[in-house]
Each structure stands twice: as structure tokens, then as C-alpha cells.
Amino acid sequence: MNTKEFRTFDMPCKKGYGYVQSVKSGDTVWISGQLGHDMEGNLAEGMDNQFRQTYQNIGKLLIEFGLNAGHVTEEVIYVTDMQEGFESRKVFGKEFYGESCIVASTIVGVTALALPGQKVEIKITAKV
């Protein structure tokens, strides 16, 4: 029987929505769309800071399953400003994944995200 494992930051706003930040089933981990907030729920200012914090949050969730950025197979990035988001991804993607930065990646421009002031959201798939 395949059971699911969950990891979450236990943010108050997530409880009402009814989801967790990450789920592991078999050898795959899915990380729900993460954003650039600290552990108190405060959203970082600006695209660069939100990218940096978002990748830090993803890293924390991966560690919970004994994984790291090298286990990521795919990312989907949503940004409210494509030009600014693309430039931020180039910098902070290399910071997170390393200089080679090899991962299947899709970036999508959107008109808005869940929180006021939110500029980026990233969802991840990783393999154990």
C-alpha cells in the first residue's frame, strides 16, 4: 500500500484553504506553490527578495524528506512581471540549484497571485 507523507510550515492562512506545502508518495515529492514569506508569514519585499525566500522555503521542505535541490526534476514558476521574474530566476535559480542549474523549468506570467504584493510562486516536483 502506498501511503502519503505530508510536511507543512503550519501557517494559519493555510488551514482555512485546506492544503499542505508538500506531499511524498512513493519516490516522488510534490511541493505546493511556495511564496516568499518568512516563518511568521511576512511576505518579502520585491521580486528578488521573494525569489530568494521562496527557494529557501522550498529547500526547507526538501530537507524534511532528506532531499536537496539536486533531487528536483521540475519547477513551475508563476510571476506577476515576466521580465523582472525571468531576470530574478536567472540569479536565484543558480543560487539554489548551483551553477549548472539543470532542471525542467516553466515560467508563466500571471496578472495576480494569492496575496497582495506577492510577485512569485514556485511549485516543485522532486524524485527520491
Q: Give the pLDDT confidence of 52-90 residue by residue, as tens digits.
A: 999 999 999 999 999 999 999 999 999 999 999 999 999
Does this model's pTM top 0.95? no
Between helices 47-64 and 82-97, what is the axis angle to 10°? 40
Q: Give domain 4-127's CATH number out of 3.50.50.60, 3.90.1570.30, 3.20.20.140, 3.30.1330.40.
A: 3.30.1330.40
- What is the distance, to the nearest Å, from the Cα of residue 92 to the centroid of all Cα atoms in its chain? 12
